A and B are shown apart, each in its own frame.
Chain A
Amino acid sequence: MKLTRRNALALGGAAIAITLVPVNAAFAATDATLADIAAFTGGAEVGEGGIELTTPEIAENGNTVPIEFSAPGARRVIILADGNPNPGVATFNFSEMAVSEGTTRIRLAGTQDVVAVAEMADGTYTQVANSVKVTIGGCGG
């Protein structure tokens, strides 16, 4: 292919599209986090939407960071801290009596993404990730 002006523009456009997609589709999760998500979903595809995660933008003390999630209709929700030595935080199982939401306090080793993955009633999975800036880490090192 000869590099004409038209081809160059097309290539440039494609390159921009490629760099934009990952930003929208996923966060940069570590292998340990991805493994935990895969263990939770059984390797099923994870979509987006239907789950809300509320975290502070800046947490002064990583030892106790309040988090809150709401995933209407979800049967199970797993919370993962992407930047901790072990990403697992907690797994919530809800019966039909329960409203699929919860609030708790978690430890974060440093600035990182907090991820929530939900298994919905129809067996599909959905996830959300929030970035939390941590001033003092919470692993007592």
Chain B
Amino acid sequence: MAKARVKVPKSATAGEVVTIKALIDHKMDSGQAKDKAGNLIPRKIINAFSATFDGVEVMNVILEPAVSTNPYFKFSFKVPATGDLVFKWVDDDGTVTEAKKTITVK
């Protein structure tokens, strides 16, 4: 199971632009590298990442094998109100990893 780590501020003012950092532990086998015996290691990557705020998508990323091991994204968004940010990573094998953080608007 891939381990995801996200950094989201706990509170914000309405309309404030906050910075979000999201990272997931994943080898991101590109399908280009070879093992010690010289065989190609098959491609196995996280192919999609998305961030949703209270059911509305904030942003998403389609990943290719050229994204580094342990894919890391930093982005910003305007907090409209108190709500939950849900992060989702999709593996080539169909595994979905989710993380949830609540932002409270004071």
Residues of A within 8 A of B (CB): 63-65, 68, 81, 84-86, 88-95, 97-99, 101-108, 138-141
Contacts and interface: CB of A to CB of B under 8 A. Distances in A.
A141 B74 contact: no
Nearest to B74: A103
Interface residues on B, range: 20 to 34
A103 B73 contact: yes
Chain B residues touching A, majority SS? strand
B34 A98 contact: no
6 contacts: A90-B61, A90-B67, A98-B59, A98-B76, A105-B68, A107-B68
Contact of A140 (B34, B75, B76): B34
Interface in B45-84: 53, 56-69, 71-78, 80
Chain A residues touching B, majority SS? strand
B36 to A, nearest CB: 12
A139 B62 contact: no
A34 to B, nearest CB: 17
B34 A99 contact: no
Interface string B16-35: 01000000000000101110
Given A139-B30, A140-B30, A99 B76 contact: yes
Contacts of A92: 59-61
Nearest to A99: B76
> B57, B61, B69, B73 — which one has the most chain A CB atoms within 10 A of its CB?
B61
Interface string B65-106: 111110111111110100000000000000000000000000
A99 B33 contact: no
A63 B78 CA distance: 32
A106 B17 CA distance: 25
> A63, A65, A99 — which one has the most chain B CB atoms within 10 A of its CB?
A99
Given A98-B77, A102-B74, A103-B73, A89 B66 contact: yes
Q: Which 5 A-B pairs have the closest CB atoms?
A: A140-B33, A103-B74, A99-B76, A105-B68, A88-B64
